Amino acid sequence: MDGDILHHGAAKTGALFDPATLLRLASATVKPAAESRGVTLDLAVLPGTPSGLVGDVGAVGSLVNALLFSAIDHSLSCPLTLRLSVQSDSPDHAALRIAMSGCFSAVDGFGLGVARRLAADRGARLTIEPLPGSGQTIFLTMPIGLPTRMTDAERLMSWARTRGGRLLVVDDSATNRMVTAGLLSKVGFSVELATGGAEAVLAVAKSAVPPEAVLMDVAMPDVDGIAATETIRSLTGDRGRIPIIAVTANAQPEDRSRCLAAGMNDYVTKPVRRADLLAALERWLTPPS
C-alpha cells in the first residue's frame, strides 16, 4: 500500500509547518471528546520525520481531526494511538503517512466520511486494516512537500528581505558607494550615502532617525573612517553604540586590529561581496522591533 501514492509527487504549494505542533493542536482539539468516552490518546511523530513540512496545514489538520473524532466516536474505551511519519524516495517525491490504531469499529461515520472526502480531493489514499485479535488500523498517505535547502547566500538574502532596515554607506569613491548601495538595496535595505567621515558623523549624530548600521570606508581624505568611528563612539545614548562595519581594501591583520580598536564592530574587505556584507549585518543588527 506504500508505493502507489508517490507518483503524485510532493505537494509543492502551501506553508511550512511543524508536524509535532500539528499533533499537539489535534490532541488539544479532540481531548474533551476522548475523555468523555474514556479513550486515552497516544499521538506521536516518529523519529527521523523532518521538523518542517510544506503543504496545506489546514487540510492535514482537518484530516487528522476527522480520523481522531471518528475513532473516538466508535471506540470501545481503549487506548488510541496515532503515528505520523514521512516517506520519501527523492527530494521531489514525499508522502505524509499517518497510522491510527485502536479498538474501534471503522464505519463511515461523520469523521471518517469527512476524512475520505478530504483524502480523495488531495490525491491521498485512506485504507483500513484489521488488527490481530480486535481493532483496526487506519492508514492515510498523502503527498507532502519537503523544504528546499538554501545555500548560505540564499539564507542571508532571505534574512535581509525579511529584516530590512536603514543603512548608511560611507565612501569617498562614488563608484564604491553605488556598488555597495546597489547590493544592499536589491535585498530590501534602505540606503543613505555619505562621501566621507565628517558627513557620516553628522548623519549619525544629527539625523532625526539615525541609520541602524554604518558601512564605513577606512582610507578617506579629511576625516577617515577611524576618526569618524571614534567620534561616533563618543556620542551618548544609542547613537554612540550604532554598529559600524569597516569596508576597506586594507586586508592585513594589523588593519583589522586598528579598525576594531577604534570601536568598529566588524570588518569586510573590498571588492565587496553581498554575502560578506549581509553576514556582517546579520551578526550585528538586532531583530526588528
- DSSP string covering 58-94, please? HHHHHHHHHHHHHHHHTB-S--EEEEEEEEEEETTEE
Longest dimension (CA), the chain: 89
Q: What is the pTM of this model?
A: 0.52
- 269 belongs to a structural domain: yes
Which pLDDT belongs to residue 11?
A: 40
Backbone conformation region of residue 267, classed left if phi is above 0, alpha if psi is from -120 to 50, else beta: beta
How far apart, in whole angstroms, are the C-alpha atoms of residue 239 and residue 232?
7
Which pLDDT belongs to residue 260?
A: 92
- 226 belongs to a structural domain: yes
The domain tally of the chain equals 2
Same domain, yes or no: 190 and 131: no
Mean pLDDT per 10-residue section of the chain, whose length is 289 residues: 30 70 92 92 90 84 86 84 86 83 68 68 79 82 80 84 94 95 94 97 95 96 95 95 93 86 93 92 81
Residues spanned by the domain of 33: 3-143
Same domain, yes or no: 167 and 262: yes
- 243 belongs to a structural domain: yes
3-class SS of residue 226: helix
- 287 belongs to a structural domain: no
- 289 belongs to a structural domain: no
Same domain, yes or no: 130 and 196: no
Query: At 193, phi and psi to the nearest 5?
Result: -125, 145
- Give the CATH number of the domain where residue 85 resides: 3.30.565.10
